[in-house]
Amino acid sequence: MKQRTIAKRVELVGIGLHKGVPVRMILEPLPSDSGIVFYRSDKGVSIPLKIENVVDTTMATVIGKDGARVSTIEHLLSSVHAYGIDNLRIILDNEEVPIMDGSSIGFCMLLEEAGLQELDKPKKAIEIKEVVEVEENGKFVRLEPSDSMVFDFTIKFPHQAIREQSYQFKFSTQNYKEEIARARTFGFLQEVNQLRAMGLGLGGSFDNCIVLDERGIMNNDGLRYKDEFVRHKILDAIGDMSLLGMPIIGGYISFAGSHKLNHFLTKKLLSATHAYSIVDVHAKGKNAQKVFVPAKIKA
């Protein structure tokens, strides 16, 4: 199996979740072994997608370099990973990736418009050999050996509209589109008000976020899935794990995980060289099915 990029340049304009300002985003193809690279056109700074470039995980995953930052990258990266894209240039004229509708389905549509292009170098993956776990105050995220790429997530909130939810997602591009991509980010009304008082969440609305008050869900259109909350956590986790730079052959398990714990997990994995190996993904070999059932290449 070969590395991938997109077949043509595509772009869109959207609103940033926290600053609430318009952002123009352009996606461009890159050659083999380039990786995912963000470029702040307003500052003239390239920021490779690397764990060492993560500068904040408080409300979203944020990368930065040379005084330039890019925030809320996880939804876009989640869809990029789902389509098996290894090399891509993401150009932004502001600090945030557009929030779209709070899910990643809009990015999936953009990638399908761009099409996929197979490159000349073999695709690589990180095969998990031993369990690696990060725990904090009863919350944990874990990677473990597995014959398939699985995300198993549980959340628990006291709110009556959420309570405890669990979902196990077996990775493929089609499964991602059907089960995960439409799940939106969510927040509680009290937290939304606090964020706005801090100058954050200014682009948030019922059009791009599930908002809950003490009584229940405030959005008139309700939920897209009955367990949309935990599915969105899986969407985030897929995006956060993509900072490893290649797909995982293994299982991801979490209870109440977060961007912060996901970041610590990726750092811990790469420091535990005995816990993984880097392998080529062969088009017809067992590793191809372990990594993902990929989206079809468009002509």
> In the block, which residue shows the tokens 């991801």?
252
Helices (H), 119-170: none
Over residues 77-105, the pLDDT tens digits come to 999 999 999 999 999 999 999 999 999 99
Residue 284, pLDDT > 50, answer no
Give me the pLDDT at residue 287, please: 57
- How confident is the model over 264-283, as a mean pLDDT? 93
Q: Is 259 a catalytic residue?
A: yes
Q: What is the mean pLDDT of residues 8-19?
A: 92
Region 4-31: what's the mean pLDDT?
A: 94
Segment 254-276 mean pLDDT: 98
What pLDDT is stored for residue 286 in this prediction?
Answer: 56
Q: What is residue 160's predicted lDDT score, i.e. its pLDDT?
A: 93
pLDDT tens column, 55-77: 999 889 999 999 999 999 999 99
Tell me which of 81, 232, 259, 263 is the catalytic residue.
259
The residue with tokens 């959207």 is 14
Q: Which amino acid is at 123?
A: K
Mean per-residue pLDDT for 111-120?
98
pLDDT per residue over 197-237, tens digit each? 777 677 889 999 999 999 999 999 999 999 999 999 999 99
List CB contacts of 100: < 8 A, sequence separation 6 or more: 14, 75, 106, 107, 208
Strands 68-70 and 62-65: antiparallel
Q: What is the pLDDT of residues 168-201, one digit of tens each?
A: 999 999 999 999 999 999 999 888 778 777 776 7
Residue 13 CB-half CA count within 13 A = 2
pLDDT above 70: percentage of residues in the chain: 94
pLDDT for position 272: 97
Structure tokens belonging to residue 75: 């939804």
What pLDDT shows up at residue 208? 94
At position 45, the amino acid (one-letter code) is V
Burial class (CB in 10 A: 0-12, 13-18, 19+), 289: middle
Sequence-distant (≥ 6) Cβ neighbours of residue 227 within 8 angstroms: 165, 167
| Spatial distance between the Cα atoms of 79 and 269, rounded to a whole number of angstroms | 23
The count of residues in the chain is: 299
pTM: 0.94
Query: How many other CB atoms are there within 10 angstroms of residue 62's CB atom?
Result: 21
> Average per-residue pLDDT in the chain?
93
Q: How far apart are CA 122 and CA 133, in angstroms?
A: 29
Rounded to an integer, the average pLDDT of 144-171 is 95
Q: How does residue 299 score in pLDDT terms, banded at 50, 70 and 90?
A: very low
- Average of pLDDT values for 250-273? 98
- Residue 111's pLDDT band (cuts 50, 70, 90): very high
CA dist., res. 139 & res. 136, Å (int): 5
- In percent, how much of the chain has pLDDT > 90? 85
